[in-house]
Amino acid sequence: MYPVVLSLHSLCRWLALAALLFSLIRSYRGLLGRRPWTGFDNTMRHTTATLLHIQLILGIWLYFISPITGFFLHHYQEAVHERSIRFFGMEHSTMMLAAIVVATIGSALAKRKPTAPEKFRTMAVWFSLSLVIILMNIPWPFSPMAGRPWLRGF
């Protein structure tokens, strides 16, 4: 079960990140190019938020079946002093949740704005903030906190 959830999580991670980047490109192009807000822009806003929520559900599921976070939860006094275990047990999960909350707020606010520039600006600001939080807390292969490979094989 663990490898299956991990594979789904990895796939959804890249889809969510790609959707977030694409939505940001659309929002900045719309804002700077003074373009109208289209149905496709609204679909991308909604799809991005949905993919991030799916990623959150998979991440929570993975959090509770992972041996790393299991060790963190059951041996907190020791685990909090181990950099990579603390990263996955506390820092990564907290910041990713924060990033998804930020993106969700931005999506909801953008949907309610009356004009295209306001929609694009709102989406650009909130999605950019979410992307920065996500990029700072991904366990990149070069990360000093907890390096992981780009794609994991089993």
What pLDDT is attached to residue 100? 97
Cβ atoms of 60 and 96 closer than 8 Å: no
What pLDDT is attached to residue 154? 47
What pLDDT is attached to residue 146? 61
Per-residue pLDDT tens, the chain, 154 aa: give them: 677 777 777 788 889 999 999 999 999 999 999 999 999 999 999 999 999 999 999 989 988 888 888 888 898 898 888 888 888 888 889 999 999 999 999 999 999 999 999 999 999 999 999 999 999 988 777 766 665 655 655 4
Cβ atoms of 59 and 93 closer than 8 Å: yes
Rounded Cα distance, 109 and 54, in Å: 20
